[in-house]
Amino acid sequence: MLYESTGSYTPDMAAEIDKPVEIAADRYGVSLKVAATILLDIDAASRRLQAETLGAVIGTLISGSNLQAKVHALAIAFGLDALNGFHSQSEIARQLGCTRALISHYVTAWRDVLAGEAGGFDCLKFRKSNQTRQTFSDKAKNPVIQAKQKP
């Protein structure tokens, strides 16, 4: 009979004392010098991406109108729990005197700004997933649906 390793009660001392550069060297099978260079490159790229994202956020906030709608949509995109007691995009739209579609438009735009090309940022607390958005879009282009929607 095979037994699973459940670990021990004491911490793994090697994991406790290894530095990030040593962990990277082991992981990639490279020297400490090369691992240090890799970590520096990753850190520089990460900081550059953060700066670009922050610039895009600030640029979006100061351009155009509807600042309140943009800020609320940004909060939704981040999935903030305490959103002044709001439970949906519709509630926020009513409070601000705009359409839910406008709020949804800004939430989607914020998601795109925050995720970039990676698409890793996807808080779905107050919005549909991108896959669901595509499904709705495809159905809206269906000629039968379009014919039914005409007055």
What's the Cα-to-Cα distance from 71 to each of 10, 61, 74, 77, 98, rounded to whole Å? Answer: 47, 8, 5, 10, 14
Residue 62 has pLDDT above 80, yes or no: yes
Question: Per the structure, how many domains does the chain have?
Answer: 2
Residue 2 lies in a domain: no
Residues 82 and 38 in one domain: no
**Both tokens of residue 31?**
């020297």
Residue 1 lies in a domain: no
Question: Chain centroid to CA 66: how far?
Answer: 22
**Both tokens of residue 88?**
């949906």
Q: Which residue has the tokens 């095979």?
A: 2
**Among residues 76, 143, 139, which one has the least CA distance to residue 109?**
76
Residues 127 and 80 in one domain: yes
pLDDT at site 40:
93
Mean of the pLDDT values across residues 129-145?
Answer: 69
Helix axes 32-62, 20-28, angle to 10 degrees: 110
Across 102-111, 117-126, 137-146, the highest mean pLDDT is recorded for 102-111
| DSSP conformation letters of 21-33 | HHHHHHHHT--HH
| Rounded Cα gap, residues 93 and 103, in angstroms | 7
pLDDT tens digits for 82-100? Answer: 566 777 888 889 999 999 9
pLDDT at site 151:
64
pLDDT tens digits for 6-59? Answer: 565 566 666 678 888 998 998 899 999 999 999 999 999 888 888 888 888 888
pLDDT tens digits for 120-130? Answer: 555 555 556 66
Residue 58 lies in a domain: yes
pTM above 0.75, yes or no: no
